[in-house]
Structure 1
């Protein structure tokens, strides 16, 4: 246990050095014309070093906000929640696009018996079989699921089962939220990210790499590196860009981790400042129907 604590403290102390080294040597991991730089990017993208840079940044902001000025944390909450809302509100349009594509497919296939759709609004035609567009509907759905997750969290739209939570006092709720974000939300999404990161890269390049691959071994494998983007569909003429789903999983993990930070800060600030601060700076959508907005606020846990 003591060794683990010392290891954590050691990496926290070295986090500024890790960040400084990455910033001052961008060519070592951003020059993708060099296979070794790609391998470094892959390795450090899910490394202990990156984790402690992010964790130490979170720790420093939290300590400064708690010990010096709470407005620092409120600014963090506002920035991250605004970012979540902006991404979610943009990605939500994929739902409309998904419905429109489905309607077009039904009309063209069932009524006009068309076998393919050709689009060329900018002079370059994209011609694909109807089965390609039909299977691609899963991609638009995945965009909504992965990129709207934190937006839905901010809006209070996730399903809740508050058997204990709803019965306790305001400050106890905020304590539960803080513990939940630190003990459950952050560790779960970090583990998911570690698997998702290497899962994504296994479908973008060769040779195969894993989460246990060491940097020296990966640099040695750089000699046989080549891009091998997955373009195989489940059917002969089906959707063939399934690597995009792997990218979305990584983006999902990044969004959830960032919002876990914002959720912890908001929970702490509301616990510290009391019920008067509940929903402070919270940007939630309005339907225009006051009764419906009140009902939504009640179901989402807001007063």
Structure 2
């Protein structure tokens, strides 16, 4: 029994060692892969070539792409640890991106309300079966198309204002132990959550959403299990097949846009996780006086500040 336990423990250490070597090798190869992709853009950006499209599809959800992003994160983190001003710059840039997207696409909510009012007027007062916009050759769709298209505005608000709401401290937080611990302990919890919960979740959503999106854009349908060679073989029969089928005969035909927004959610969450990790580390290092440093919060005219709803247990 002891011999079997020793063999099992040795096998576990061997597997751990080989896994560590694999990670280090892929980190080292990330510099080569990134350099090769930048110096040979025609291999994956020349979409007049069907093989280039399939390379783009493959690498967007590949191990190589993951390690390029992961290595870039490691390099930026290392530089930021050496010079905190660079890390603060990354925080301000990423939070600024979230704020800009949120402040722009939040107006989709107003457009949704206005369009709904127009639809009601056209149906109930003018009794028109369609709505047309434009001059000369107008853009004209059935009322049911415009009614279903309202879901796109809602999706824009959810997908592109998600990280903006987080930066603005608008998410609900349930505090089990967080509220009772010290300032620096809170920052450690935030760092741990960013690295081990938010980032992995964003990666998993990206991997699912990437191939889910492409299966609604091209045929033959790519799969996450396909190797590059298999996808290159499939490229011989490749053609664009953008999803334009609505849920009703005259309904909204741009449902592929929702797949693109799903991918956007994953990318924005990943970037915000980096910003939150950096902010948490810098606030942990600099102390309570650095809390919310450089944070661009929208404020109301009311002097009472609006904070996130909290449930303290």
Q: Equivalences for 1:251-290 in 2 at 5 Å?
A: 251-290=264-303
Contact kept? 2:43, 2:55, Cα under 8 Å: yes
Q: What's the CA shift string for 1:126-161, capped at 9, x where partnerless? A: 111111001111111000000011111100111111
Q: Secondary structure at the match of 2:174?
A: coil
**In the TM superposition, what is the alpha-carbon distance from 1:112 to its structure 2 partner?**
2.2
How many pairs does the alignment contain? Answer: 296
Question: Matches of 2:40 and 2:236 in 1, distance apart?
Answer: 21
Structure 2 residues not aligned, in runs of 5+: 1-15
2: CA distance between counterparts of 1:106 and 1:170?
52
Q: Secondary structure at the match of 1:127?
A: strand
Q: Distance in 2 between matches of 1:76 and 1:275?
A: 20
Compare CA radii of gyration and give the structure with the larger one.
2
Classify the secondary structure of the residue corresponding to 1:33: coil
Taking the aligned partners of 1:10 and 1:87, their CA distance within structure 2 comes to 37
Indicate the SS of the match to 1:230. Answer: coil
Name 1:241's counterpart in structure 2. Answer: 254
The correspondence for 1:76, drawn from 87, 90, 103, is 90
Structure 1: 4+ residue segments shifted above 3 A: 297-301
Using the size of structure 2 for normalisation, the TM-score is 0.92
- Hey, what's the Cα distance between the residues in 2 that align with 1:105 and 1:161? 40
Match of 2:67 among 49, 52, 57: 52
1:241 positional shift? 0.7
2-side partners of 1:200 and 1:300: how far apart? Answer: 36
Cα separation, 1, equivalents of 2:309 and 2:184: 19
Query: Which ranges of structure 1 fall in alignment gaps of 5 or more residues?
Result: none
Partners of 1:283 and 1:182 in 2: CA distance: 23
Q: Does 2:41 correspond to 1:26?
A: yes
Give the CA RMSD over aligned residues.
1.3
Superposition TM-score, scaled by structure 1 size: 0.95
2:22 aligned with 1:7: yes
Query: In the alignment, which residue of structure 2 is the partner of 1:192?
Result: 205
Q: Cα deviation per residue 1:95-150 (whole Å; 9 max; x = unaligned)?
A: 110111111111211222221100115x4411111110011111110000000111
Matches within 5 A, 1:64-213: 64-66=79-81, 68-120=82-134, 123-213=136-226
